[in-house]
Amino acid sequence: MKKVLFLAFAVMLCLGSLQTANAQLGKLKNKINKITKPTKNNTEMSSDIPTHTTNIYFSDTKIDLNNLPTATTPDFSKDVHAVIDFGRPLKEVTEARKDGKKLRITPSITDNMGNSGAAGLYLPVEDLESHYLILDFVVSKENAYTEFEYPAMTLFGFFKNLEANEGTASITFSKDYEETSRSNFQFDLNGLDKNALWLKSKQASEVAASNWSLAELPEVFYKDGVTVPELNEAKIGEMIKNLSSNVSEVLKVVTVGNPEWRVNTNDIDVPKNRNVNGSRTMAVYKGIDGNCYFMDSIYLEQEYAGGGTYGPYRIPRTHRGKFPGSKIADCELVNK
């Protein structure tokens, strides 16, 4: 009889635990569905909007924070600047990942039919303190003025690939895997050339990238360093200048760390080349456009010449992708 009672009690405990687990799982599903489930019309989208919905406004001229625009629907037949009013610092709204000398944030964009995409934005560090996010949504290149790299391209890239030309869209931000902000707006692309708008947005993104500049250089740039073996900063400067016709003058080269050689071999262990490892080489140069640029982690190597010898130092051709580097706000930063 005791065994029967014990078994019955155990079954009741299991059922209770199962019910609790199912209830918790149901809450989790509801939470996930609230954020991710596709919607079919504007009414359904509105019912799913969380309490932290923020406002987004559009203008065909430069945004003035002292006189915010009131339009809630972008007119893609004109230039479109956008401002999102979070009411709190951007750093409280989204994750920010350091990427070189910039920060990357990745809001998502969705429409009322369940289509979704990511809108990767590169922005200056100080903008994380701002309560507003101002974007060149899709504008003529001569009117692009923000320092946010790629917003126009990634944001309009979403609309370019939609089958529908009109509907409701949302830009959503998350932090610690929780949705923190959602901005909703209507869009209408009927009668417009999406490919032409895409090209326009791409050009605006390129201008936004060129508007961005470093306000300071890393402290290590001003420290005395160790030169690369058998190679001085002047020679590195010559190599940088020869890499691009856009370099007018190399102002300063700094190498810090403890340089050592790393030999790269092929499948049968025959050397291909060797590169300087364990050091960090940086430079500031003046471009033919009059601006100054900072290049970091300059890569130096020597091609294997046979018989245990190596050819002249070089910056490999693949390294040219680092040009033009990061524009700095003032050329005098090199003399700080």
Out of 211, 231, 265, a domain closes at 211
Residues in CB range of 332: below 8 A, 6 or more apart: none
- Selection from 172, 156, 157 nearest residue 39 by Cα: 172
92 and 197 fall within a common domain: yes
More confident residue, 257 or 193: 193
User: Do 78 and 153 sit in the same domain of this protein?
Assistant: yes
Q: What is the mean pLDDT of the chain?
A: 78
pLDDT value, residue 8: 42
Last residue of a domain, one of 194, 211, 228: 211
Judge whether 56 and 82 are in contact, CB under 8 Å.
Answer: yes
- Whether the per-residue pLDDT at 1 is higher than 70: the answer is no
Same domain, 175 and 250: no
Cβ–Cβ under 8 Å, residues 118 and 154: yes
Q: Is residue 9 part of a domain?
A: no
- Examine the pLDDT at 56 and tell me if it is beyond 50: yes
pLDDT one-digit tens code per residue, 169-184: 999 999 888 899 999 9
Share of the chain above pLDDT 90, in %: 27
Rounded to whole angstroms, the Cα distance separating 39 from 37 reads 6
- Phi and psi for 29 in degrees, rounded to 5? -60, -45
In a domain, 281, yes or no: yes
Is residue 81, in this structure, part of any structural domain at all? yes
What is the number of other CB atoms lying within 10 angstroms of the CB of residue 136? 29
Residue 13 lies inside a defined structural domain of this protein: no
**Radius of gyration over every alpha carbon of the chain, rounded to an integer in angstroms:** 27
> Has residue 125 been placed in a domain?
yes
pLDDT band at 318 (very low <50, low <70, confident <90, very high): low
How many domains would you assign to the chain? 2
Pair 171, 224 in one domain: no
If DSSP codes are grouped into helix, strand and coil, which group holds residue 181? strand
Most confident of the following: 22-36, 104-118, 305-319: 104-118
What is the bridge-based pairing of β-strands 108-111 and 247-265?
unpaired
Q: Same domain for 164 and 115? A: yes
Cis peptide upstream of residue 107 (ω within 30 degrees of 0): no
Hey, is 203 helix, strand or coil?
helix
Tell me: do 194 and 65 sit in the same domain: yes
Q: In this model, does residue 107 exceed pLDDT 50?
A: yes
| 113-117, 145-149, 279-283: the lowest-pLDDT one | 145-149
Tell me whether residue 144 is in a domain: yes
| 89/165 same-domain check | yes
Q: Are residues 223 and 111 in the same domain?
A: no
Can you give the residue range of the structural domain that contains 68? 39-211
The answer to whether residue 2 sits within a structural domain is no
Query: Which of residues 158, 179, 211 is at a domain's end?
Result: 211
Q: Are 184 and 104 in the same domain?
A: yes
pLDDT at site 96? 83
More confident residue, 82 or 13: 82
Which residues are bridge partners to 109 per DSSP? Answer: 117, 171
**What local confidence, expressed as pLDDT, does residue 13 receive?**
35
Q: What's the N-to-C CA distance of the chain in angstroms?
A: 88
Please report the pLDDT score of residue 43 as a whole number. 32
Exposure of 127 by Cβ count < 10 A (0-12 exposed, 13-18 middle, 19+ buried)? buried
Q: Is there a single domain that holds both residue 115 and residue 198?
A: yes
Q: How far is it, in rounded angstroms, from Cα 295 to Cα 240?
A: 10
Q: What average pLDDT does this structure show over 27-31?
A: 36
My answer on whether 198 and 102 are in the same domain is: yes
Tell me, yes or no, whether 129 and 272 share the same domain.
no
